[in-house]
Chain A
Amino acid sequence: SQQGEEDPQALSIQEGENATMNCSYKTSINNLQWYRQNSGRGLVHLILIRSNEREKHSGRLRVTLDTSKKSSSLLITASRAADTASYFCATDARGNEKLTFGTGTRLTIIP
């Protein structure tokens, strides 16, 4: 299986609710990143968390990292219709700038 795997594969919630997506990986990492992809578009970087960090915030985004469990979560608070997209986690091995992307979570916000 892939280095990064998101869970769930698909998520539908009502606008205004919080959305939580999880990512698991297998090897030691330098940092973990989350990206968003709108339909038919390229990926857009959202947030980066370093391996020595446990939590990071950016606007309505909150990311946690548990290196002992090799997992990360992305929380989007007060979701909006515009948050509808696929979300990917990406990891890089120590000393290597190559990113390995997960399989993605398809998030649908219902107005």
Chain B
Amino acid sequence: DAGVIQSPRHEVTEMGQEVTLRCKPISGHNSLFWYRQTMMRGLELLIYFNNNVPIDDSGMPEDRFSAKMPNASFSTLKIQPSEPRDSAVYFCASSLNRGRENEQFFGPGTRLTVL
């Protein structure tokens, strides 16, 4: 398996533009997580899905952020409009929720820079 795939790997955009980050989880995994990592705030969970359904979006910063999972093999995180403070590395992770053991597999991340 190729692991979790994220695209793009790097994104540079100007303030006010729409940004869409993409994630393909590991085949067979039923949970998907979006994280944001910055030096100041560390690794923060933004939202997670189980069986394509959003379970917890309490970490989504504000209405400018939205996430979808239209099927088991694809998810998007959209920021509209983007702001400089959104600059961070965004990680997608997936796991096979087997009850007590929920090891997560991370993608390589998308480094977002908003100018």
Residues of A at the B interface (CB closer than 8 Å) are 2, 30-31, 33, 41-45, 48, 50, 88, 90, 92, 97-104
Interface centre among A2, A42, A88, A103 (most CB of B within 10 A): A42
7 CB contacts below 8 A, A to B, read: A42-B93, A43-B91, A45-B104, A48-B101, A97-B48, A97-B97, A99-B45
Interface centre among B31, B101, B107 (most CB of A within 10 A): B101
Q: Are A42 and B107 in contact (CB under 8 A)?
A: yes
Number of A-B pairs whose CB atoms are under 8 Å?
53
User: How many residues of B sit at the interface, in one of the four size bands?
Assistant: 20 to 34
Q: Are B91 and A42 in contact (CB under 8 A)?
A: yes
Using an 8 Å CB-CB cutoff, how does the interface string of B83-107 with A read, 1 for contact, 0 for none? 0000000010101010011111111
Q: Are B56 and A98 in contact (CB under 8 A)?
A: yes
